[in-house]
């Protein structure tokens, strides 16, 4: 019965958004890395809850133009060289020191789209994503997340554990933003979160990788590459692991 409820929620959510407007970018990488040894970073475009990972030559092309980097504990921003694979973008990075790092990306290159028929309007889609990782046995030194639209833990609390509350906050321009978050679990379980005094909380039901997503429609008209839009549709994701 629980699985049926989860499936119905997934179908209702998918119905609320046309597939064209429902896609987002997310980052996959190991949580623990070794100092001086390369680690692999994969960036996907699609819908994690549905197992949708778009392919090169098809809808993965919508993600062209993204830029990604690693923020080091020392404050450096190291650009990543991305290679387009069959269903993701691939990068590698070698941490030189111990500490907490942040993998971040932004894509502001997508063309203006008319999603009026889905009650979204004419918008310029903009994407953000980030994922932390740890190198070495100590995380005394920590990188500071830098995205203009981002989901962050409300307190430093790693690792995250099954059946223990995870508290998050949503920021735009460094300030708290009241909106909604969607939580996607590895088993297709999903949950919508609303702000409770600036905090968004959920209890993870199982171990694995979770994608947390949010959308903010900034109603400022403009033009991009000669096309007018009514608003910028910001979409961000945060990848976390529950152990």
pLDDT tens, position by position, 193-234: 999 999 999 999 999 999 999 999 999 999 999 999 999 999
- Residue spans of alpha helices (H) in 113-235: none
| Token reading at 21 | 């407007």
pLDDT number for residue 188? 85
Residue with tokens 């500490």: 99
* Cβ atoms 185, 218 nearer than 8 A: no
Residue 20 pLDDT class (50, 70, 90 cuts): low
C-alpha to C-alpha distance for 84 and 216, rounded to whole angstroms: 28
Nearest alpha carbon to residue 147 among 166, 127, 177: 127
C-alpha to C-alpha distance for 122 and 232, rounded to whole angstroms: 9
C-alpha to C-alpha distance for 96 and 104, rounded to whole angstroms: 18
Residue 6 pLDDT class (50, 70, 90 cuts): very low
* Percent share of the chain, pLDDT over 70: 90
Longest dimension (CA), the chain: 52
C-alpha to C-alpha distance for 210 and 184, rounded to whole angstroms: 6
Residue 39 pLDDT class (50, 70, 90 cuts): very high
pLDDT number for residue 3? 47
SS3 content of the chain, % helix, strand, coil (to 5): 10, 50, 40
Residue 145 pLDDT class (50, 70, 90 cuts): very high
- Tens of pLDDT along 163-186? 999 999 999 999 999 999 999 999
| Token reading at 108 | 């502001």
Q: What is the mean pLDDT of the chain?
A: 91
pLDDT(157) > 80: no
- Tens of pLDDT along 114-141? 999 999 999 999 999 999 999 997 667 8
pTM, two decimals, is 0.91
Which uninterrupted H or E stretch holds 16? helix 2-16
């Amino acid at each position: 019965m629980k699985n049926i409820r989860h499936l119905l929620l997934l179908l209702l959510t998918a119905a609320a958004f046309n597939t064209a407007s429902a896609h987002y970018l997310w980052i996959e990488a190991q949580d623990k890395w070794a100092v001086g040894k390369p680690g692999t970073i994969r960036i996907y475009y699609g819908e994690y809850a549905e197992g949708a990972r778009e392919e090169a030559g098809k809808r993965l092309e919508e993600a062209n133009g993204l830029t990604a980097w690693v923020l080091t504990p020392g404050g450096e921003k190291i650009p990543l060289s991305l290679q387009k694979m069959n269903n993701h973008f691939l990068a590698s990075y070698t941490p030189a020191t111990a500490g907490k790092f942040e993998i971040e990306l932004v894509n502001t290159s997508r063309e203006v789209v008319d999603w009026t028929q889905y009650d979204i309007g004419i918008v310029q889609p903009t994407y953000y994503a980030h994922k932390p990782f740890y190198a070495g046995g100590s995380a005394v030194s920590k990188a500071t997340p830098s995205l203009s639209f981002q989901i962050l833990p409300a307190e430093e609390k790693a690792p995250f554990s099954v059946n223990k509350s995870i508290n998050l906050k949503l920021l735009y321009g460094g300030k708290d933003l009241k909106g909604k978050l969607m939580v996607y679990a590895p088993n297709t379980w999903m949950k919508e979160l609303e702000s409770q005094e600036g905090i968004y909380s959920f209890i993870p039901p199982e171990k694995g990788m979770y994608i947390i997503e949010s959308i903010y429609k900034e109603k400022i008209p403009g033009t991009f590459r000669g096309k007018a839009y009514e608003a910028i549709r910001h979409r961000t994701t945060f990848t976390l692991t529950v152990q």
